[in-house]
Structure 1
Amino acid sequence: MTAGIDTPDRRGRTGLDRQGRDLTGNPRVRILDVEVLSCDWYVLRKTTFDYRHSDGHWSREQRETHDRGDGATVLLHNTARRTVLLTRQFRLPAYVNGHPDGMLLETAAGLLDDESPEKAIRREAAEETGHTIGAAEHVFDVYMSPGSVTERLHFFAAPYESADFSGGGGGIAAEGEDITTVELPFSEALAMVRDGRIADAKTIMLLQWAALDGPFRPS
């Protein structure tokens, strides 16, 4: 008996080896086997499949996919003051891979956890920044690292005001979160993208959207 397959894993899941076996949308792909390598919290799978190349020949391939679930993120902005509200928190993978201290500036974000994307970003904004947001604008949905990670991230933007601050923020201490809120002039945030002080992909994408098509686009 294997946790996550025959018996529940620590998150109560079973049948994790069935994910992706029944895909039929691409006739050039034949799924042969799915093996669960790890399901401690997220799920790491190795999938074996046959792939028909453009010249017609078939090859047998194997790929590992990291399934952490889908997520959502929101850019909080104040157009009157021309500011954005970001978060700062420690990210071990970035620290391991060359970031000076692992403390990344980011838009508020989190996993959906069976919620709708908009409900999830409202929860995350409240948990991380202490702000209750009003009308949220859906921007786009993006596969952030499609070569290895299954996650699709839903992007939103929403205005914020000082009066929206309901207290709290800082993240969920029980989950090890220790998040600070950083308010920046929008122009400074863009400068930080240019010089590398903001190095988080989702944050860069939302800031660039805000400058080109969003609340800070040219008149």
Structure 2
Amino acid sequence: MTDAPILIRSVEVLSDDWATLKKFTFDYRRRDGTLERQVRQTYDRGHGAVILPYDPERGTVLLVRQFRLPAYVSGHPGPLVEACAGLLDEDDPETCIRREAQEELGYRLRDTESVFHVFMSPGSVTERLMFFIARYSPDDRIGQGGGDRHEGEDIEVLEVSLEGALGMIDEGQIVDGKTIMLLQHLKLKGLMRASAHP
């Protein structure tokens, strides 16, 4: 055993389809110094980026609504309201999220700002998600959005007030973690003016 807290003994690929599921067997050194054999699985689908565009003049944000099978089979019957997001593939996070904003939202975003880079479900998922915000205005709209039909996307674009979106969290209409984090970030930073927008 080295100074590292674990020594990996074996790695088995259980599935390699849309994502890769691996089974790890490793020795873990506990804080009291004893060794313990453990087995865990990791789900690797790559890293991603998410963005929340906001219009400080009108007090609005852009969100999407789409069907998510994992949420559905976990008891959420309707589509999820989320911030625009996507996998990096071969791109850097900023390039990825600008592309996703055009495909999903129909907006060309210029001044993106990175706010944090986090693991969303570190107990089993290897993905790190880069969070962005960006100012937008109606003049930045270049298309209808809706996502990539060839990838099975069927995305509805929503423009709501920040206060309205925060109310949707309270009412259980927004249950997506990354979206809640970005909405609360905007509120805590005081980046928005009050708005009468619904």
The answer to whether the aligner puts 1:151 opposite 2:112 as a matched pair is no
Question: Shift of residue 216 of structure 1?
Answer: 2.8
Q: Which deviates further from its counterpart, 164-173 or 111-120?
A: 164-173
Q: What TM-score comes out, normalization by structure 1 length? A: 0.85
Instruction: State the percentage of identical aligned residues.
Output: 54
Q: Secondary structure at the match of 2:10?
A: strand
Q: Secondary structure at the match of 1:38?
A: strand
Structure 2 residue runs of 5 or longer lacking an equivalent are none
**Deviation digits for residues 31-84 of structure 1 (CA, Å, limit 9, x no counterpart):** 111110001121000011000111211111110000010000000100000000
The answer to whether the aligner puts 1:90 opposite 2:67 as a matched pair is yes
The answer to whether the aligner puts 1:68 opposite 2:45 as a matched pair is yes
Residue in 2 that maps onto 1:11: none
The answer to whether the aligner puts 1:206 opposite 2:178 as a matched pair is no
Distance 1:169 1:25, change over 3 A: farther
Q: Secondary structure at the match of 1:84?
A: strand
Question: Aligned partner of 2:99: which letter?
Answer: R
Q: What TM-score comes out, normalization by structure 2 length? A: 0.94
* Equivalent residues of 2:15, 2:22 under 8 A apart: yes
In the TM superposition, structure 1's runs of 4+ consecutive aligned residues that sit over 2 Å from their partners are: none
Residue in 1 that maps onto 2:137: 161
* Equivalent residues of 2:54, 2:134 under 8 A apart: yes
Question: Aligned partner of 2:64: which letter?
Answer: T
Distance 1:66 1:26, change over 3 A: farther
Q: 2:118 aligns with which of 133, 142, 159?
A: 142
Distance 1:158 1:25, change over 3 A: farther
Aligned-residue Cα RMSD (Å) equals 1.7
Residue in 1 that maps onto 2:158: 182
Question: Shift of residue 217 of structure 1?
Answer: 8.4
Structure 1 residue runs of 5 or longer lacking an equivalent are 1-23
